[in-house]
Amino acid sequence: MDVVGQVVTIGAVVIGALTTHLTNHMLERQRVRHVLLTRWDERKLSTYAEYIDAVRTCIYSAVALYEARTGLAQSPHPDGRLAENLTDAEGARSRAFERVMLLAHEDVIEAAHAVNTATKAVDWRARGTTDGPLAEWRELNRDAFRAINAFHETARADLGVLGAFQGADHSARALILPESRRDGQTPAAGE
């Protein structure tokens, strides 16, 4: 009986050691997986933020060019310089979009494509490649901001951020035209 008791004790120790080893191994794998996911989420967040920053720079450059070209506002810069600024901004947006393509989930990529489509329409109108009334220009800007907000929603979902934008008119809050210009009024002196 003495030998059987020793074999049972040794077997229990071996099973305990194997169980501890497997548990530690699984916990370490889970920890490494969590670290990798966190690292990728940080990179995604940075990439998404850089992309939206590049998109907004593009829109602001397009607005400056459009307003100078159509006489809505005076610019201290010549139209040629404003067009160069827009070209530079478009390049930055394209490079940022490529990073989104490398890291994002397919839903985010589709939302980014929609942003690119909407903002290209703004760019083309600003350059005079396409033509239309001021009301249509404003609608192109609204479409761009709606696309940006949809991108935000899909990016937030991809990153696991809970919550959503509140209110149906969220896109209207981001318009870059002053109130007097939104209402079709002529700008007051000094505007």
Between 138 and 38, the higher pLDDT residue: 138
Please give the pLDDT value at position 40. Answer: 73
Distance CA 65, CA 62 (A): 5
> What is the rounded CA–CA span in Å between residue 83 and residue 186?
25
pTM equals 0.70
Q: What is the mean pLDDT of residues 163-168?
A: 61
Q: What is the pLDDT of residue 57?
A: 95
Instruction: Using the predicted structure, report yes or no on whether residue 54 has a pLDDT greater than 80.
Output: yes
* Mean pLDDT, rounded, of the chain: 83
pLDDT level of residue 12 (50, 70, 90 thresholds): confident
What are the domain boundaries of the chain?
41-182
**For the chain, what's the residue count?**
191
> Could you tell me which residue, 191 or 33, shows the higher pLDDT?
33
Render pLDDT for 76-127 as a digit per residue (tens, 0 to 9).
888 789 999 999 999 999 999 999 999 989 999 999 999 999 999 999 999 9
More confident position, 163 or 166: 163
**In this model, does residue 188 exceed pLDDT 50?**
no
Q: What percent of the chain has pLDDT over 70?
A: 81
pLDDT-derived band of residue 173, with 50, 70 and 90 as boundaries?
Answer: low
118 in Cβ contact with 85 (< 8 Å): no
pLDDT value for 56? 95
* pLDDT given at position 101: 94
What is the spatial distance between Cα 133 and Cα 137, in angstroms, rounded to a whole number? 7
Cα separation, 112 vs 50, whole angstroms: 12
Between 189 and 117, the more confident residue is: 117
CA distance linking residue 87 with residue 123, whole number of Å: 9
Phi-psi region of 71 (alpha: psi -120 to 50; beta: other; left: phi over 0): left
Q: In whole angstroms, what is the distance from residue 65 CA to residue 87 CA? A: 11
pLDDT digits (tens, 9 = 90+) for 119-158: 999 999 999 999 999 999 999 999 999 999 999 999 999 9
DSSP string, 3-30: HHHHHHHHHHHHHHHHHHHHHHHHHHHH
pLDDT of residue 189: 38
**In 3D, which of 85, 72, 178 has the Cα closest to residue 134?**
72
Return the closest-CA partner of residue 144 out of 116, 170, 181: 116
| 51 token code pair | 């992309």
Q: What share of the chain is helix, strand, coil (3-state, %, to 5)?
A: 80, 0, 20
